């Protein structure tokens, strides 16, 4: 046998072994014979039963080079041993999830500790934030994720929202906010849902944290530093931003009402909370913005545009949540330092402590803990 034929047989043999191994893995770990309702939640980037270590030595504001991040069997962060132990469920995007804040140091952990220390109450605060989710994704969480958590019945549902909707979110963001059960009627989609290899891909995608190195501040992403004072150069609003804000706010209000419908259905109380950011800053007595805050349909919008947009969303939350017998907390009106953020929107450990204490102060002021 010449060398060419020998090499060909080796390649064929290795390929057959690899194929047999993949088939065996699919049989053992795939969902071909034992359907799992949790598989569908991976479309929404829900991480379950995972402990992840992140290297943050190049992220400004972190004193430790390593972050320890974990999610339990239900996809939640926190110390609540059972779903029925959860008193407060916090819902939001990456600023709620806090991918780069270690377990035990999130603002939920700080809030829980403050309640115990100041009020001598044992209240469990659970973190249901998901990186990248806007109100589109939060609605899918209520409809596709939370019903799978048997015993989940918190008294307070905290909606820490606005950041991911302010950049003109008129439609769901693919791979973050979308859940397409109808696609399962398509044979190829149904096969992918059952595949163990595909589920590993979805898990790796949900675990990946983006660190933006571009000049455009990805409001759903993570960057390595907060803006410099010299970057606040925008002094005018974009010419078309008002029309976009009007449409965006109307659609946001509709989704917010739908979220509150879900809370009411579960006999809970909703607390809507505004979010701070660093897209604008007072410079020599004038409010200025960064030049590149977000893009929409190929156009770049500045920090002033972003601030105007999120201001309208906050006003909508104040009106809708109050009218629906909920509460509105204007967290964004509190004082934050640049050092509280490692980019435009995400908190450093120091910022998480400040935010958690603000949460306690604001919630205690309106007596939200009285019924817990």
Higher pLDDT, 86 or 223: 86
Domain that holds residue 10: 1-30
Predicted pLDDT at 214: 37
| Residue 362 to residue 334: CA distance in whole angstroms | 10
10 and 97 together in one domain: no
**Whole-angstrom distance, CA of residue 347 vs CA of residue 299:** 28
Q: Are residues 173 and 64 in the same domain?
A: yes
151 and 15 in a common domain: no
Q: Does a structural domain hold residue 145?
A: yes
- Report the distance separating Cα 72 and Cα 82, nearest Å: 10
- What distances in angstroms separate CA 339 from CA 159, 349, 354, 358, one per listed residue? 24, 10, 11, 16
pLDDT at 216 over 70: no
Sequence-distant (≥ 6) Cβ neighbours of residue 279 within 8 angstroms: 217, 289, 290, 293, 303, 306, 307, 344
Whole-angstrom Cα distance, residue 58 to residue 213? 12
pLDDT per position as a tens digit, 315-334? 999 999 999 999 999 999 99
Domains identified in the chain, total number: 2
Q: Is residue 370 part of a domain?
A: no
Cα angle 122, 124, 126; round to 5: 170
Do 108 and 202 belong together in one domain?
yes
Q: Which residues are 294's β-sheet partners?
A: 301
Asked if residue 284 belongs to a domain, the reply is yes
Q: Is residue 152 part of a domain?
A: yes
Strands 294-296, 286-290: pairing kind: unpaired
Q: Is 168 left (phi over 0), alpha (psi -120 to 50) or beta?
A: left
Confidence of residue 60 (pLDDT cuts 50, 70, 90): confident
| 11 and 133 assigned to the same domain | no
In terms of domains, do 190 and 262 share one? yes
Q: Do both 287 and 310 map to the same domain?
A: yes
> Residue 363: exposed, middle, or buried by beta-carbon count in 10 A (0-12, 13-18, 19+)?
buried
The CATH code of the domain that includes 137 is: 3.40.50.1110
Q: How does pLDDT run across 334-369, given as a tens digit for each residue?
A: 999 999 999 999 999 999 999 999 999 999 999 999
* Residue 330 within a domain: yes
Residues 281 and 357 in one domain: yes
**What is the C-alpha separation between 262 and 153, in angstroms, rounded?**
12
Q: What is the average pLDDT across 91-107?
A: 98
DSSP string, 98-135: -TTS-TT-SHHHHHHHHHHHHH-----EEE---TT--H
Q: Is 279 found in the same domain as 354?
A: yes
Q: Is residue 157 part of a domain?
A: yes
CB 161 within 8 A of CB 92: yes
Q: Is 286 exposed, middle or buried (CB count within 10 Å of its CB: 0-12, 13-18, 19+)?
A: exposed
pLDDT at position 29 is 53
Best-predicted range by mean pLDDT among 37-51, 53-67, 154-168, 190-204?
Answer: 154-168
Q: What is the largest CA-CA distance in the chain?
A: 85
Residue 273 domain-assigned (yes or no): yes
* 320 and 243 belong to one structural domain: yes
DSSP states along 305-368: HHHHHHHHHHHHHHHHHHHTT-EEE-GGGS---GGGBSSSSPBPHHHHHHHHHHHHHHHHHTTT
My answer on whether 50 and 131 are in the same domain is yes
Neighbours of 73 (CB within 10 A): 10
**Cβ 152 vs Cβ 119: under 8 Å:** no
In this predicted structure, what is the pLDDT of residue 185? 38
| Same domain? 215 vs 265 | yes
Vertex 14: Cα angle to 13 and 17 (nearest 5)? 85
Does residue 343 sit within a domain?
A: yes
């Amino acid at each position: 046998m010449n060398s060419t034929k020998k090499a060909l047989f080796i390649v064929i043999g290795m390929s057959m072994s690899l194929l047999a191994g993949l088939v065996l893995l699919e049989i053992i770990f795939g969902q071909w014979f034992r359907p799992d309702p949790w598989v569908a939640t991976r479309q929404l980037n829900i991480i379950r039963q995972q402990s992840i270590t992140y290297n943050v030595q190049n992220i400004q504001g972190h004193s430790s080079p390593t972050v320890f991040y974990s999610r339990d069997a239900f996809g939640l962060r926190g110390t609540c041993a059972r779903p029925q132990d959860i008193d407060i469920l916090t819902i939001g995007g990456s600023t709620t999830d806090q991918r780069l804040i270690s377990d035990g140091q999130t603002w939920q952990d700080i809030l829980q500790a403050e309640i115990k220390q100041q009020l001598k109450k044992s209240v469990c605060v659970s973190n249901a934030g998901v990186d990248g989710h806007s109100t589109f994704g939060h609605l899918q969480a209520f409809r596709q994720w939370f019903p799978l958590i048997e015993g989940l019945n918190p008294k307070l549902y905290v909606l820490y929202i606005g950041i991911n909707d302010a950049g003109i979110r008129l439609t769901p963001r693919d791979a973050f906010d979308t859940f397409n059960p109808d696609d399962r009627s398509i044979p190829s989609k149904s096969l992918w849902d059952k595949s163990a290899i595909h589920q590993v891909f979805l898990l790796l995608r949900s675990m990946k944290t983006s660190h933006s190195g571009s000049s455009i501040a990805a409001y759903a992403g993570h960057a390595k530093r907060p803006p410099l004072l010299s970057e606040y150069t925008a002094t005018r609003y974009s010419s078309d931003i008002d029309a976009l804000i009007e449409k965006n706010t109307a659609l946001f209000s509709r989704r917010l009402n739908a979220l509150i419908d879900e809370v009411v259905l579960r006999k809970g109380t909703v607390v809507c909370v505004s979010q701070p950011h660093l897209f604008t800053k007072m410079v020599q007595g004038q409010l200025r913005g960064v030049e590149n805050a977000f893009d929409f349909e190929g156009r770049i919008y500045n920090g002033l545009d972003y601030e105007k947009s999120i201001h309208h969303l906050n006003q909508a939350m104040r009106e809708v949540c109050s009218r629906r017998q909920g509460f509105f907390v204007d967290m964004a009106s509190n004082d934050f330092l640049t050092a509280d953020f490692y980019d435009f929107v995400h908190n450093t450990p120091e910022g998480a402590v400040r935010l958690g204490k603000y949460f306690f102060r604001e919630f205690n002021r309106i007596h939200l803990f009285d019924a817990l």
